[in-house]
């Protein structure tokens, strides 16, 4: 489902974020990616939706080589992924409902069907009936829930999250982790990066550990 | 097809939302576009009115051929034969000295003419050539001046031709003005869209992460440019309409002092549609250039 084959990423200027990383994630797995700051976690996650391109190696998503994907095909790849990256912030001038609706607007869903899906996604993350509120009026944990609702509203087969519990109290972090686990139980492949070693510990997920651009555990 | 229409409808709604979200900026931009467009639009309208007036005064340039006072019926017949035999003439009519006198009497000069002992007016032919080329007129006039018993040849409508030439010059000037101001409007829209892109950078980036294509990202900006241009067009139409309303009374009064009936005409439906379409086109062009410049390679 997700295959990294000897993937390297070197930025202009010479900084090597990833050096020969290889692993495979099968359909329906829950995988936690960990490592210190600067280990290459964010870079690795950005290679999956082709935000970054590898300088060497191959990245396959559902059999599709995304490292050589033409630019015009990238949007259609991303529509099949649930993304919670550091760049995918909530739009503060749009309501919760409109934020979650955005992926469906992009894919041209009929408004009636889209509204039902948004309501269901908000219900799923425990924010049912709060669609009219603005993101800045929500707590940090609630904002993350909105981001999760937006990531899953298109019913992706793969959910990718970069530090979704950063800056959250432990209680909120556990709630978010429980949500990811529930999506995984429903058959969604989940890849989450975190620096919190205890997060998901109860679920005994598969762990990938990065250090200085090298995969030191979980290959 | 329905999805395509739906996405355009969303983009239009989005553009309206952005315009409504900054009412002062929208109003100022529309005023800049509108006032700039009202200059060539008003100029075009003014020229159109003058052209209508000129058509009403004399549509066809003519040559007046006056015979000598001692010309007899045989001389008149001889000139008529020459005119009939000239293939360059489309028509001519004879105005006898008596008819000319009657026309003068009917024009209100009866009291003055009553003091005369004899009719001082000559027989005349009014001649219309096929061509409106001034060179042909001059050649024909020169030729006619050489005919027997022809006392005077006058190019009656030379002033109309000059007026037409001036109108042509005016139209060229209006076109140049429209081109220059149109270019300025493209720049105004270019800058507005640039600012829009900057303020919506976060939304653009998030949309791209969620799978938005380039057309999806760009479409609302195109519509923004079109709507801003069209709003400017409406302001231009309003400005021209107010100008016509303000000038209509004085112009009619001026025409009456010359014994003429003339009403200043405002822009009709085709002209209004053309102004709106032109403004919208300029808005789209500015947006397209700006989007290409500021969203390329994102």
- Whichever domain contains A196, its CATH number is 3.40.50.300
**Cβ separation B209–A87 shorter than 8 A:** yes
Domain range spanning residue A144? 26-53+70-217
Mode of pairing for the β-strands spanning B63-67 and B150-155 = antiparallel
Domain range spanning residue B272? 2-57+161-294
d(CA A70, CA A130): 39
B270 and B135, same domain (yes or no): no
B289 and B202, same domain (yes or no): yes
pLDDT, tens digit, 9 for 90 and up, residues A58-96 = 999 998 999 889 999 999 999 999 999 887 789 998 999
Is position A15 within any domain? no
Is position A150 within any domain? yes
Q: How far is CA B46 from CA B162, B174, B268, in A?
A: 17, 10, 13
B11 and B111, same domain (yes or no): no
Structure tokens at B58: 């004399």
Is position A3 within any domain? no
Please tell me whether the interface predicted TM-score (ipTM) of this complex is above 0.85: yes
> What's the whole-number mean pLDDT along residues A4-24?
92
Query: Which pTM value belongs to this model?
Result: 0.71
**Cβ separation A88–B209 shorter than 8 A:** yes
Q: Are B38 and B240 in contact (CB under 8 A)?
A: yes
Is position A64 within any domain? no
d(CA B264, CA A98): 52
B47 and B174, same domain (yes or no): yes
Structure tokens at B126: 């009014």
User: Based on the structure, what is the number of domains in chain B?
Assistant: 2
**Residues 182-241 in B contacting A (C-alpha not used; CB under 8 Å):** 202-203, 205-214, 216
Alpha helices in B115-200 (DSSP H): 134-145, 158-199
Q: What is the DSSP string of A95-146?
A: -HHHHHHHHHHHTT--HHHHHHHHHHHHHHTT-TT-TTS-GGGS-HHHHHHH
Number of alpha carbons in the 13 Å side-chain half-sphere of residue B91: 4
User: Based on the structure, what is the number of domains in chain A?
Assistant: 1
Tokens 């995969």 found at: A215
**Cβ separation A75–B202 shorter than 8 A:** no
Q: Are B213 and A105 in contact (CB under 8 A)?
A: no
CB burial class (10 A; 0-12, 13-18, 19+) of residue A113?
Answer: exposed
Is position A5 within any domain? no
CB burial class (10 A; 0-12, 13-18, 19+) of residue B218?
Answer: buried
d(CA B15, CA B220): 5
CATH of the domain at B87: 3.30.70.3040
Higher pLDDT, B22 or A79: A79
Task: Report chain B residues whose CB lies below 8 A from the CB of A108.
Answer: 3, 6-7
Backbone region of residue B153 per phi and psi (left: phi > 0; alpha: psi in -120 to 50; beta: other values):
beta
Which of B6, B10, B203 minimises the CB distance to A91? B203
B143 and B285, same domain (yes or no): no
Task: Report chain A residues whose CB lies below 8 A from the CB of B205.
Answer: 87
B143 and B242, same domain (yes or no): no
Task: Report chain A residues whose CB lies below 8 A from the CB of B3.
Answer: 108
CB burial class (10 A; 0-12, 13-18, 19+) of residue B70?
Answer: exposed
**Cβ separation A103–B6 shorter than 8 A:** no
Q: Are A47 and A81 in contact (CB under 8 A)?
A: no
Task: Tell me, yes or no, if B297 comes closer than 8 A to chain A by beta carbon.
Answer: no
pLDDT, tens digit, 9 for 90 and up, residues A90-146 = 999 899 999 999 999 999 888 889 999 999 999 988 999 899 999 999 988 899 899
B51 and B130, same domain (yes or no): no
B74 and B38, same domain (yes or no): no
> What's the whole-number mean pLDDT along residues B224-231?
94
Task: Tell me, yes or no, if B8 comes closer than 8 A to chain A by beta carbon.
Answer: no
Q: What percent of chain B has pLDDT over 90?
A: 36
pLDDT at B98 over 60: yes
B197 and B225, same domain (yes or no): yes
Task: Report chain A residues whose CB lies below 8 A from the CB of B10.
Answer: 105
Task: Report chain B residues whose CB lies below 8 A from the CB of A42.
Answer: none
B37 and B118, same domain (yes or no): no
Is position A196 within any domain? yes
pLDDT, tens digit, 9 for 90 and up, residues B170-199 = 889 988 988 998 898 899 889 989 998 998
């Amino acid at each position: 489902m997700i295959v990294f084959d000897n993937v390297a990423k070197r930025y202009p200027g010479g900084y090597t974020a990833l050096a020969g990383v290889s692993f495979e994630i099968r359909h329906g797995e829950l995988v936690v990616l960990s490592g210190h700051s600067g280990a290459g976690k964010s870079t690795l996650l950005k290679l999956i939706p082709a935000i970054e391109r590898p300088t060497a190696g191959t990245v396959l998503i559902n059999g599709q080589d995304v490292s050589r994907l033409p630019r015009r095909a990238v949007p259609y790849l991303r529509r099949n992924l649930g993304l919670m990256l550091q760049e995918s912030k909530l739009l503060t001038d749009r309501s919760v409902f409109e934020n979650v609706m955005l992926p469906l607007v992009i894919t041209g869903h009929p408004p009636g069907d889209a509204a039902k899906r948004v309501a269901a996604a908000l219900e799923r993350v425990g924010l049912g009936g709060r669609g009219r509120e603005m993101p800045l009026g929500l707590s940090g944990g609630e904002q993350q829930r909105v981001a999760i609702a937006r990531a899953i509203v298109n019913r992706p087969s793969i959910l990718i999250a970069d530090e979704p519990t950063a800056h959250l109290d432990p209680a909120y972090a556990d709630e978010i982790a429980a949500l990811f686990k529930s999506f995984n139980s429903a058959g969604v492949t989940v890849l989450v990066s975190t620096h919190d070693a205890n997060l998901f510990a109860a679920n005994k997920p598969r762990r990938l550990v990065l250090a200085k651009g090298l995969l030191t555990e979980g290959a | 097809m329905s999805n395509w229409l739906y996405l355009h409808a969303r983009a239009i709604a989005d553009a309206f939302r952005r315009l409504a979200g900054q009412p002062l900026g929208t109003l100022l931009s529309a005023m800049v576009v509108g006032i700039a467009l009202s200059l060539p639009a008003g100029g075009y309208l003014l020229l159109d009115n003058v052209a209508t007036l000129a058509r009403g005064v004399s549509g066809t340039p003519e040559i007046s051929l006056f015979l000598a006072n001692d010309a007899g019926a045989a001389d008149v017949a001889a000139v008529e034969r020459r005119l009939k035999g000239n293939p360059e003439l489309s028509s001519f009519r004879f105005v006898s000295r008596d008819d000319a006198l009657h026309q003068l009497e009917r024009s209100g000069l009866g009291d003055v003419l009553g003091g005369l002992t004899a009719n001082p007016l000559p027989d005349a032919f009014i001649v219309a050539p096929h061509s409106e080329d001034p060179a042909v007129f001059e050649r024909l006039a020169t030729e006619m001046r050489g005919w027997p018993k022809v006392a005077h040849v006058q190019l009656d409508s030379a002033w109309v031709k000059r007026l037409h030439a001036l109108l042509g010059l005016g139209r060229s000037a209006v076109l140049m003005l429209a081109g220059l101001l149109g270019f300025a409007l493209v720049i105004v829209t270019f800058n507005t869209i640039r600012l829009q892109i900057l303020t919506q950078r976060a939304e653009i980036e998030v949309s791209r992460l969620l799978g938005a294509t380039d057309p999806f990202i760009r479409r609302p900006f195109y519509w923004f440019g079109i709507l801003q241009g069209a709003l400017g067009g409406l302001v231009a139409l309003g400005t021209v309409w107010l100008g016509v309303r303000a000038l209509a009374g004085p112009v009619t009064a001026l025409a009456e002092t010359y014994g003429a009936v003339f009403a200043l005409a405002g822009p009709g439906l085709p002209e209004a549609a053309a102004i709106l379409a032109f403004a919208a086109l300029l808005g789209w062009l500015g947006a397209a250039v700006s989007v290409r410049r500021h969203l390329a390679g994102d």
